[in-house]
Amino acid sequence: MHELSIAQEIYRTSRAAVAGHGAGRLETVKVAVGELSAVEPDLLVFAWQALTQGGPDAESELKVEWRPARQFCAGCNADKPRSPGSWLRLCPQCGMALAVSGGDELDVLQVTFLPDEAAGEGGVADG
């Protein structure tokens, strides 16, 4: 269970990315999680909620894009579908040995940030 450490790194990266945008709060953080990244998406979202709870970003949402690994068959020149969490050793169509590739993504893709209204472009100074 290392999803909390991963969530902390995502939070740190997201905050660093908006550091130049003034005060405000995170709205959404989009991440890519690969099937072979050893990270479980639901646990990551729970960890995010626990981490942001009670702080300025408590309303933020962590959106996980799942990136499955591929099982490509050179004989058929096509990716072979399989049921989630299972692997094929041989191509069901042509019998060629299949390898697993990709699915190791663990990236922060995009952050949407809501600047505080007082810091908005209106520039109305406090009386």
Partner 1 sequence: MAEVVDVRAKVLAANEEAAARLRGTFRTSGALVLNLISSPGSGKTTLLETTVKALAGRLRLAGIEGDVATERDADRLRAMGIPAVQILTGGACHLDARQVRKAIDEAAFPAFDVLFIENVGNLICPTSYDLGEDFKVALLSVTEGDDKPFKYPAIFSRAEVTVITKADLLPHVAFDMDAVRGQLATLAPSGAVLVTSAKTGEGIAEWCALLERRLAAKREAGA
Which residues are at the interface with partner 1 (CB under 8 A)?
1-2, 5-6, 9-10, 12-14, 17-18, 21, 27, 31, 35-39, 69, 86-89, 97-100, 104, 106-115
CB of 30 to partner 1, least distance (A): 9
User: Closer CB to partner 1, residue 49 or residue 114?
Assistant: 114
User: Closer CB to partner 1, residue 78 or residue 96?
Assistant: 96
Show the DSSP H helices in 34-93 as ranges.
41-52
Please name which of 50, 54, 12, 29 lies closest in space to residue 114, comparing C-alpha atoms: 29
CB of 127 to partner 1, least distance (A): 24
CB of 94 to partner 1, least distance (A): 16
The DSSP bridge pattern shows strands 78-79 and 72-73 to be antiparallel
Cα 41 from Cα 53, distance rounded (Å): 18
Backbone angles phi, psi at 16, to 5 degrees: -65, -35
CB of 49 to partner 1, least distance (A): 17
Decide: 42 and 33 in contact? Cβ < 8 Å. Answer: no
